[in-house]
Structure 1
Amino acid sequence: MELLDDFPPGPLDAYRKKASFDWKQLKVLLDTEDIIIFKNEVVKALQSDPVFDPHDDDFSLDEIRRDTLLKEKSLDKYEALYLVNSLDGTPKLSAALQSMTQWNPSVTLREGLKTGLFANVIRALGTEQHQHYAHMADNYELLGCFAMTEIGHGSNTKMLQTRATYDKTTRTFVIHSPNFEAAKCWSGMAGQCATHAVLYAQLYTSDEVCHGIHQFVVEIRDTKSHLPSPGVIIADMGHKIGLNGIDNGVIMFDNYRVPKSALLNKHCDVTDDGVYIPKMKDPKKRFGSSLYAITSNRLNVSSISLAFLLKGITIAVRYSAVRKQFSPDDSNEELPILEYQLQQYRLLPYLAGCIVHQVALYFLTSDNTATLIEIVSGNPRPDEHERGIEIHAISTACKSFSSWFHRDGLQECREACAGHGYLKVARLGDCRNDNDVNMTYEGENNVLVQQTSNWLLKLWPMVLNKEHITSPYESVSVLNKGLTILSLKCKVTSIEEMMRPDVIINTYQWLICHLLKSSAEKYQNNLKQHGDSFRARNDNQIFYAKDLTLVYIQHYFLHRFLVFIESTNDVAIKRVLENVFALYALFNLEKHVAHLYKGAYFVSDLHSTLLHDSILRAMAAIKDDAVALVDVIAPHDYLLNSVLGNSDGQVYQHLQRAIFTGKNNMTRPTWWQEIMHNQSKL
């Protein structure tokens, strides 16, 4: 197949020859020819320009920031890279985000902040008088940032303290931070670069009436001197544990006046005389509309987070297939550490998860992007409202669970490569650290899971009343037969049965219904005890509502993957995909065993034994295919940039080169005379 080159011969050949399927055929099935060609174009464009050189290990913080800016500015020269921020109704958007993240996540995030959280917010919430800001940002005539989160408030945006008070005598808004807790923080590019900000503030009219959170576009630095505007205080937040190419900043305002036109007034306005005029009567809808652009980014965060694990699992599995330790007999022929069951358990479920998540995210990103295009073009689908509610629940659960899963996988990858995995040149530490922020931005995960569980809880009365539940994405269709499902018991008596896709899906469906019922009953009991819904919801999270959200999204991922499995007629590929499905599903299911017994779905000790044995069976089935499966999802060697994960498998050659040619690795330290106490006597 000319579309994909063969890998260079080397130590990985032993496993590649064991593969039960054609990796090239599966890669085309997973990515499609268009995406493979597109990814190749991205790598070709990056390799063609010296400014895109990924090596910055010895840079200072200031040099990293400058290098990130230069790389970002250079992206516009290459047509293949435009899709990073385009609205394309295909999986190309997700593929672009992943490839660019694997190359340089700081550059990708800067570009996303500039376009997604500055220019696109202005396009969505502003009117004609504001569009020049978006155009100028696209052309680097100004640099924008997004200022919503405050030191004292993040998720609870309705309680932000920054004020924008309209002064009808001067026809200006007076922006003010009443205290340090009201300081805008974590604003990407605000620390050193941004000249303008999309600012979230409480809008007050001259009569001191608060009209809630609104958005403003304000200049925070002079575009000529690059100094903070008078009345604006800016500080960089300094070194972080990752993504140091992004200059996150703190912004405070001291009675800073901006023109009336600073208000992004698509959904509301203030007259010259100070009369507030809403263009959407329902303030909840107005606020929800203003946050729509933010919520849609959660699927992109999931794709970005997956990009790090795709990189990490490639490095760890390839290394495990080459690294040998211990001999089972007196032959002195050591085994690759991938042959050891503990190593398989640490890595193979996350390899399976990478493939399942890739399929689900390709679908969700593509469908959501197409829906956004339809809305913007004025041709929404008839079920737009229902789709919007459901995709919000899916995206919040998806972002939370997937980023947690990818975090855990990356830690296992780092540890599975032992000491060599601790080297900077292995790149596993960079992946782990740069990914870490995905747990908290675009919504802290533990807060987000509550949004999904609260929506699911609203559906329980419909289940009890046997009302039909509409589910355009088919994520809650199961609830239409929820009461019947709750009466079922596990009847599995063998490993073969436990691994069957229909048995696995049935088990997850029972878990959804059981956890929804348990969460709803717990909530009602809490409500009777405490008397208020806030405390009732708060005391319903651990062991109940949070687990409900996790099971809900795990089931949905599996549902989408089964649809994908049915898209192929290749027997060998279908078999390996079914093994991937089983390992991923059972690995996650094992964490819910307590609920399966508590709800009496598992009725004997045999069922937990069969579950454990099935996980081991699925791992054994995937082990010989592991390297080929990694080849399907692996980033290009240029994007990996790892001495342990190169596709040629020459781990020790790459390690030797890195150690012996590294800057200052074989030189005497400048402070060598200080090493010994008695140095002066020698």
Structure 2
Amino acid sequence: MAMKLLKDFKPGPLDFYRKKASFDWKKLKIFLDTEELVDFQDEIVRELEQYPEYRNHFFPKTFDETRRISSKQSRIYNNINSLTMLNLLPNLRKVPMANRLMVQIAPDSTIKYSVSYLLFLSTVESMGTNRHSQFLTDSADGTINGCFCLTEIGHGTNTKGMRTTATYDEKSKEFIMNSPDFEAAKCWAGGLGQNASIAAVFAQLIVKGQKKGLHCFLVPIRDPKTLIPYPGVIVGDMGEKIGLNGIDNGFAMFKNYRIPRENLLNKMGDVTESGEYVTPIKDPNKRHGASLGNLSSGRVNITNMAVGYGIKALTIAIRYAGVRKQFGPNEKEEVPILEYQTHQHRLIPHLAAAIVIRVFCDYFQPAFYEFMVDTIMNPKDKSLPDRGIEIHAISSGCKPLAGWTMRDAIQECREACGGHGFLKAAGIGDLRNSNDANCTYEGENHVLIQQTGNWLMKFWPLVQKNAEISTPLKTANFLTHANKILRTSFNATTIEGLCSPEVLINIYQWIVCSLLKESCERLEISIKDGTDSFWAKNNNQVYFAKNLSIAFIQHFFLDRMLEVIKEAPDENIRRVLLRIFSLYAIKSLENYHLATLYRGGFANGPLLSQLIQDSIIKLCADLKDDAIALVDAIAPPDFALNSVLGSSDGQVYQRLESAILHSSYGMSRPSWWKEMTDIEDSVLKSKL
């Protein structure tokens, strides 16, 4: 069925490479996505094509028009979900597929929908109780528009430092919300700038003069019928950003603003009418962690969003590279720029990274949603705490690594398309700006990734005891053999030897074990020397704990990729995926870990370094003829791609001509032309 759904591309310039491919791109697409998901993707596109708001064009929009279209798209997306077309629970593998496709089509409205509607709902569902059910109903039917307010002007990652307060008034049975100053203003909340009528606000709860820590409150912001702010609330928009301007990020301050006692989301803690604080979690640190648990969903989703942006950029740049010709062995013949070694080295390693991380997302996002379902359906499951901690550690590492990796990929794609890549109609500039936010929100990357290292370092005492290490997702199980792994060394002598999956997995396991040992020993020495534990951890990041986290996540990426390769339906697909696996692994060694391998004694002399370089060049050359077919297998439809350089038909120059000639400025005279022609009059007036 799916083979029939996957139509052949129109004949064109890209046929030169499509005929050279060593595998059938349709078989690879079906293998990666399944027939059901191929049909599901087409279903989404067919539905969205009906709406003019989703028909993209390259004409400039005003700031206000950008906001209007994004808001309408977000409402359309909500209605589609309500009609169950995007009901994802029966097959959780639809989640990463739908998220990737939607951010490729309309990132602003998709993220707006996610961080306002979905995040508001999930917060009420996970932190509220039956008394908040009406808020869920009103949000679902559009009676109220919600948003999520955590970050403050002066505090982001350090949530314990938040300064907005909610003080209980026993006489009126209300909470009084206050922002001490502008630094305590809630900010960057998606949807708060213009549309939200209610917010899930995290504030420091004060009862009988005592602080009880950060809690979440449902705070009415604007009249839902007029969108006029209520007295006591100062609310507005953050202003124009470098990207994602369809999202109305806003700020809010409160001055003696009163809300009902029942508006406290009370699953983790409640206040009785008489002003007594009650909670099922006595440890305030655990209560704080539980109240912020739903943030992992954003980090998991951002990892997938980043790879969605990267795939779109790589599709554009690699298809363009297959069409664009420059120079050649003689004056009569020019060759596609994809034939040049430098161009292959610029793009193909990034393609390998995108495919590997995409495979990881197709596993990890469903695994996260399974965990979320289990917390609701099987709350007494004894594995839940450890699963949650491991998922938190992984999401804290994969989100930064994916954001950084795709940031570099998208920028290289922009440059690899030359001057044409700088056109808005190329579609890469907006991708670059949209992905830029992935390196910051839901946890600034350099701060966030420390959570992964902190989790890993807790295993070191077990390693020293030669104890068995077992985690629910099995990501750290190999640490059971850490002492044995640390006694190994590099023994490959050829490119084929280095490219072996067994050799590469062993190298990454050695890197993780070596950095874990070094990080823990350095931390222990610092503390023994009298350094405060806070500064000891802080001064142990660069080259050690941070690189430990990166290597651990990369090992997990590679491990998942190997599991998928084992299931490949034929030898041709296995071969090309193994090359992708090896290229990602080896290029990442070059980018991140060479110093560690030599410093720790895993390798000596020039052989490893030389083999890494030779292998990268060879793998890029081996994958060159398959590059177009590889992007064909993972590319979004042309409707989502929306690029004059990357369309599946390869007709770059015809599309460029149309875009340039039909541009708002292409053949027009500027409205201010008289100012430029009447020079003397213009100069005289300027002097006056």
Shared fold by TM > 0.5?
Answer: yes
Question: Which residue, out of 166, 183, 186, partners 1:184?
Answer: 186
Within a 5 Å distance, the mapping from 1:50-65 to structure 2 comes to 50-55=52-57, 57-65=59-67
Could you tell me whether the CA contact under 8 Å between 1:42 and 1:80 is conserved in 2?
no
Closer, same or farther in 2 for the Cα pair 1:279/1:164, shift >3 Å? same
Where does residue 425 of structure 2 map in the other structure? 425
1:146-193, Cα deviation, whole Å (9 max, x unpaired): 111000000010110000000101111110000111000001111111
Closer, same or farther in 2 for the Cα pair 1:281/1:85, shift >3 Å? farther
User: Residue 325 of structure 1: SS of its match in structure 2?
Assistant: strand
Where does residue 685 of structure 2 map in the other structure? none
Within a 5 Å distance, the mapping from 1:150-165 to structure 2 comes to 150-165=152-167
Unaligned 5+ segments in structure 1 are none
Could you tell me whether the CA contact under 8 Å between 1:42 and 1:81 is conserved in 2?
no
Distance 2:678 2:588 in 1: 57
How big is the shift at 1:470?
1.2
Residue type at the aligned position of 1:198: A
Distance 2:111 2:313 in 1: 19
Distance 1:509 1:447 in 2: 24
Distance 2:544 2:309 in 1: 30
Where does residue 135 of structure 1 map in the other structure? 137
1:45-92, Cα deviation, whole Å (9 max, x unpaired): 111222322236421111111111112222344369857685555210
Could you tell me whether the CA contact under 8 Å between 1:396 and 1:452 is conserved in 2?
yes
Where does residue 333 of structure 2 map in the other structure? 333
Question: Which residue, out of 21, 24, 28, partners 1:22?
Answer: 24
Distance 1:251 1:79 in 2: 29
Where does residue 296 of structure 1 map in the other structure? 297
Distance 1:402 1:299 in 2: 10
Could you tell me whether the CA contact under 8 Å between 2:128 and 2:266 is conserved in 1?
yes
Where does residue 686 of structure 2 map in the other structure? none
How big is the shift at 1:386?
2.1
Where does residue 616 of structure 2 map in the other structure? 615
Distance 2:527 2:57 in 1: 57
Closer, same or farther in 2 for the Cα pair 1:88/1:389, shift >3 Å? farther
Could you tell me whether the CA contact under 8 Å between 1:386 and 1:470 is conserved in 2?
no
Closer, same or farther in 2 for the Cα pair 1:145/1:78, shift >3 Å? closer
Where does residue 35 of structure 2 map in the other structure? 33
Residue type at the aligned position of 1:247: D
Where does residue 660 of structure 2 map in the other structure? 659
Where does residue 485 of structure 1 map in the other structure? 485
Within a 5 Å distance, the mapping from 1:84-95 to structure 2 comes to 86-87=88-89, 89-95=91-97
Within a 5 Å distance, the mapping from 1:144-543 to structure 2 comes to 144-205=146-207, 207-330=208-331, 332-378=332-378, 381-543=381-543
User: Residue 302 of structure 1: SS of its match in structure 2?
Assistant: helix
1:193-228, Cα deviation, whole Å (9 max, x unpaired): 1010000000001x2100000000010112233211
How big is the shift at 1:677?
5.7
1:330-376, Cα deviation, whole Å (9 max, x unpaired): 4x211111111111111101111111111111111111111211221
2:10 is equivalent to residue 4 of structure 1: no
Distance 1:384 1:677 in 2: 75
Could you tell me whether the CA contact under 8 Å between 2:400 and 2:445 is conserved in 1?
yes
Which range is displaced more, 444-453 or 528-537?
528-537
Distance 2:585 2:628 in 1: 21
Which range is displaced more, 369-378 or 304-313?
369-378
User: Residue 653 of structure 1: SS of its match in structure 2?
Assistant: helix
Where does residue 635 of structure 2 map in the other structure? 634
Distance 1:40 1:228 in 2: 41
How big is the shift at 1:435?
1.0
Which range is displaced more, 377-386 or 538-547?
377-386
Question: Which residue, out of 101, 118, 121, partners 1:119?
Answer: 121
User: Residue 203 of structure 1: SS of its match in structure 2?
Assistant: strand
Distance 1:253 1:434 in 2: 31
The share of aligned pairs that are identical, in percent, is 46
Distance 2:518 2:59 in 1: 51
Distance 1:366 1:357 in 2: 14
How big is the shift at 1:507?
0.6
Distance 1:153 1:85 in 2: 36
Distance 2:270 2:383 in 1: 30
Closer, same or farther in 2 for the Cα pair 1:77/1:252, shift >3 Å? closer
Residue type at the aligned position of 1:571: E
Distance 1:680 1:388 in 2: 72
Distance 2:264 2:373 in 1: 25
Closer, same or farther in 2 for the Cα pair 1:79/1:201, shift >3 Å? closer
Unaligned 5+ segments in structure 2 are 683-688
1:435-470, Cα deviation, whole Å (9 max, x unpaired): 111111111111111000011111111101111111
Which range is displaced more, 283-292 or 93-102?
283-292
1:399-443, Cα deviation, whole Å (9 max, x unpaired): 110111011100000010010000000010000001111111111
1:289-330, Cα deviation, whole Å (9 max, x unpaired): 221211122111111111111100000000011001101234
How big is the shift at 1:489?
1.0
Closer, same or farther in 2 for the Cα pair 1:309/1:129, shift >3 Å? same
User: Residue 655 of structure 2: SS of its match in structure 1?
Assistant: helix
Distance 2:483 2:663 in 1: 64
Which range is displaced more, 142-151 or 284-293?
284-293
Where does residue 567 of structure 1 map in the other structure? 567
Residue type at the aligned position of 2:202: Y
Residue type at the aligned position of 1:461: P
How big is the shift at 1:284?
2.5
How big is the shift at 1:603?
1.6
Residue type at the aligned position of 2:224: T
2:48 is equivalent to residue 46 of structure 1: yes
Which range is displaced more, 367-376 or 635-644?
367-376
How big is the shift at 1:142?
0.8
Distance 1:539 1:365 in 2: 33
Could you tell me whether the CA contact under 8 Å between 2:149 and 2:200 is conserved in 1?
yes
Within a 5 Å distance, the mapping from 1:549-564 to structure 2 comes to 549-564=549-564
User: Residue 458 of structure 2: SS of its match in structure 1?
Assistant: helix
Could you tell me whether the CA contact under 8 Å between 2:371 and 2:387 is conserved in 1?
no
How big is the shift at 1:381?
4.6
Distance 1:355 1:309 in 2: 10
Distance 1:478 1:211 in 2: 41
Closer, same or farther in 2 for the Cα pair 1:545/1:597, shift >3 Å? same
Could you tell me whether the CA contact under 8 Å between 2:397 and 2:449 is conserved in 1?
yes
Closer, same or farther in 2 for the Cα pair 1:64/1:416, shift >3 Å? same
User: Residue 327 of structure 1: SS of its match in structure 2?
Assistant: strand
Closer, same or farther in 2 for the Cα pair 1:292/1:463, shift >3 Å? same
User: Residue 334 of structure 1: SS of its match in structure 2?
Assistant: strand
